[in-house]
Chains A and B, each alone.
Chain A
Amino acid sequence: MATRVRSVSKAAGATTTGSAVATGQFAASVQDLTKRFGSRTVLDGLSLDIKAGEFVALIGRSGSGKSTLLRALAGLDRDVSGSMAVAEPVAVAFQEPRLVPWKRVLDNLTLGLRVPEPTRVATEALAEVGLAERISAWPLTLSGGEAQRASLARALVRSPSLFLLDEPFSALDALTTISMHRLVLQLWERHRPAVLLVTHDVDEALALADRVLVLGAGRIAYSTIVDVPRPRDRNHSTLIELRLRLLRELGVSVGDTGELI
């Protein structure tokens, strides 16, 4: 199956990233990505690869450039140097649901959807996220959790090869977030897009991802595979170790038993 590739290439690495994605083996390939805001360098020669169907979490301190990287991958920020290729279609779920308030939920999903039977596909997607009864609702009448679920449905209805999530649950309460984690895993297991989840929550990253990356000093400072079968128990020894390691990589001072020092 040929994958459509979107490339931003201003360097010699162009062909490598482009061909890596074109083979279908990788959903995203980034080489030497640099982004400056005036005199401040946010991304400094960052390289990363996301395999097709892989669930990757990206964590980092505030201002580390996580969202900048995601926006570059989403094509929202073209003012970057380096080379980058992504497998289209790319879907994005933002921190706020960004549902168009003057369209009903169903119409939000079918907006810009170019498939033979948009209404049927959209209705099925909404049923999958548990919003079958809200297809005719106005977005402003949805709760935060419902709206974010609609946003996920909107992303998945496009059968993305790469699904980018920018801290999608940070505005939700803890209980809703737990059910959202469950939902994301379900959707991922069923549809198998590659996922890049940007989050500030180490536990979220460990609960969901195959691989966790730490963004620091403008590049990937640390990367670890989470080799624990899902569903994961937070108290699994590997996860406890990884949590400690990740917190330290983020610059949080923790003792060996996880206490803050």
Chain B
Amino acid sequence: MSVQVLSRSDTRDAAGRATPAGGRARRFLRRRGWLRLISPVAVVVLWQVLSLTHVLPVRKLQSPVSVAHTAYNLVTTNSPTYGTLQGALLASAERWAIGLSIGVAIAVVLAVVSGLSRIGENTFDPLLNAARSVPLLGLLPLFIVWFGIEDLPKILFVMLGALFPMYVNTFAGIRSVDPKFGELGQVLGLSRWELVRHILLPGALPSAFTGLRLSVIGSLLALVVAEQINATSGLGYMIDTAEQFLANSTIVVCLIVYAIIGLLVDGGVRMLERRALAWRREFVP
């Protein structure tokens, strides 16, 4: 009986260690998630093809190349109607950042208060659940009546978009910490504060991160809506004005910018999450 040795095609890296077939270049590509870009890029290519072949009419939606051209113009020309794209982006980003951070901060405080005591829960939870059920869109006109047409109602709106997902998830996270750790805390003689700091809050962190990512989306949505009504600056204002001039590609550019900032911030949150939750062993099927 002969024994056959099966060999893998091996490459050696700089230090002479064997690396799996394909070498470092292929591993770099695989690791950085470049694969995730394939489908969006494919969609853009498809879009361009559909525009070129006139399957997609120019009146409805212009080609990606044309949209890129418009974006370039918006960035370089400071038009009296729109201002520049960067200017609009800055105005929107500022509102978003303020509304998101305040909303998240308030949500965390409320979640901790509700999570740590029955009285807190009975006070705040019913209120928040009721408020959550009111459709945000319906509130916007009311906000304008109450808070005027400057930045305040918009920021408050963004804040609300961030508040509810963060509250719900953080509260659930605190309550889901295994009571066995509560017993452990007792046995180790931890003070109430130490219990909160070392056991309850870190234990709630995974759920809180989920809440944070949902807040990012929710507040961005709220921003898009709020900026289209009675705005004088920002991407939403740009969209609104472009609508009046029937400048579709401007609208598309603005929407893409919204999407990009959303993705960037979400990516940032996910990176933070991976660092903060490095202790988990995740089941990836």
Chain A min CB distance to B125 (Å):
26
Query: Does residue A103 face the partner (Cβ distance < 8 Å to B)?
Result: yes
Decide: B278 and A138 in contact? CB cutoff 8 A.
Answer: yes
Across-interface contacts of A101 in B (CB, < 8 A): 279-280
Known A101-B280, A102-B205, A140-B279; contact A76-B186, beta-carbon cutoff 8 A: yes
Decide: B184 and A102 in contact? CB cutoff 8 A.
Answer: no
A76 touches which one: B181, B187, B278, B279 (CB < 8 A)?
A: B187
Decide: A103 and B181 in contact? CB cutoff 8 A.
Answer: no
Chain A 88-116 against B: per-residue CB contact (8 Å), 1 yes, 0 no? 01111010101011110000000110100
Across-interface contacts of B181 in A (CB, < 8 A): 98, 100
Across-interface contacts of A235 in B (CB, < 8 A): none
A and B contact pairs by CB, cutoff 8 A, 30 listed: A74-B187, A75-B186, A76-B186, A91-B187, A92-B187, A94-B180, A96-B180, A98-B180, A98-B181, A98-B183, A98-B184, A100-B181, A100-B202, A102-B205, A102-B277, A102-B279, A103-B202, A103-B279, A111-B188, A111-B194, A111-B198, A112-B185, A112-B188, A112-B189, A112-B194, A138-B278, A138-B279, A139-B279, A140-B281, A141-B281
Contacts A112-B194, A140-B280 known; list 11 others, CB within 8 Å.
A75-B187, A76-B183, A90-B187, A91-B187, A94-B180, A100-B184, A111-B188, A111-B194, A114-B189, A139-B279, A141-B281
A193 and B84 CA atoms in complex are apart in Å by 75
Across-interface contacts of A138 in B (CB, < 8 A): 278-279
The residue on A at minimum CB distance from B185 is A112
A219 and B262 CA atoms in complex are apart in Å by 65
A102 touches which one: B183, B185, B203 (CB < 8 A)?
A: B203
Chain A residues at the B interface, C-beta cutoff of 8 Å? 74-76, 89-92, 94, 96, 98, 100-103, 111-112, 114, 138-141
Query: Does residue B190 face the partner (Cβ distance < 8 Å to A)?
Result: yes
Decide: A100 and B186 in contact? CB cutoff 8 A.
Answer: no
Chain A min CB distance to B280 (Å):
7
Chain B min CB distance to A28 (Å):
15
Decide: B180 and A112 in contact? CB cutoff 8 A.
Answer: no
Q: B258-284: which residues lie under 8 A (CB-CB) from chain A?
A: 277-281
The residue on B at minimum CB distance from A98 is B184
Across-interface contacts of B184 in A (CB, < 8 A): 94, 98, 100
Decide: A102 and B202 in contact? CB cutoff 8 A.
Answer: yes
A91 and B186 CA atoms in complex are apart in Å by 11
A141 and B188 CA atoms in complex are apart in Å by 23
Across-interface contacts of A112 in B (CB, < 8 A): 185, 188-190, 194
Chain B residues at the A interface, C-beta cutoff of 8 Å? 180-181, 183-190, 194, 198-199, 202-203, 205, 277-281
A96 and B183 CA atoms in complex are apart in Å by 12
Chain A min CB distance to B281 (Å):
5
A137 and B276 CA atoms in complex are apart in Å by 15
Decide: A100 and B199 in contact? CB cutoff 8 A.
Answer: yes
A139 and B184 CA atoms in complex are apart in Å by 15
Across-interface contacts of A100 in B (CB, < 8 A): 181, 184, 198-199, 202
A103 and B199 CA atoms in complex are apart in Å by 10
Across-interface contacts of A74 in B (CB, < 8 A): 187
Q: Which 8 A-B pairs have the closest CB atoms?
A: A112-B188, A102-B202, A138-B279, A140-B281, A92-B187, A112-B190, A102-B279, A98-B184
A74 and B186 CA atoms in complex are apart in Å by 9
A91 and B184 CA atoms in complex are apart in Å by 10
Across-interface contacts of A114 in B (CB, < 8 A): 189
A102 and B187 CA atoms in complex are apart in Å by 18
Chain B min CB distance to A25 (Å):
24
A96 and B181 CA atoms in complex are apart in Å by 11
A78 and B186 CA atoms in complex are apart in Å by 12
Across-interface contacts of B277 in A (CB, < 8 A): 102
Across-interface contacts of A89 in B (CB, < 8 A): 189
Chain A min CB distance to B206 (Å):
9
A93 and B180 CA atoms in complex are apart in Å by 12
Chain B min CB distance to A195 (Å):
16
The residue on A at minimum CB distance from B206 is A102
Chain B min CB distance to A171 (Å):
14
A240 and B202 CA atoms in complex are apart in Å by 50
A114 and B190 CA atoms in complex are apart in Å by 10
Across-interface contacts of B198 in A (CB, < 8 A): 100, 103, 111
Across-interface contacts of A91 in B (CB, < 8 A): 187
Across-interface contacts of B280 in A (CB, < 8 A): 101, 140
Chain A min CB distance to B28 (Å):
26
A103 and B181 CA atoms in complex are apart in Å by 13
Across-interface contacts of A102 in B (CB, < 8 A): 202-203, 205, 277, 279
A139 and B281 CA atoms in complex are apart in Å by 10
Across-interface contacts of B189 in A (CB, < 8 A): 89, 112, 114
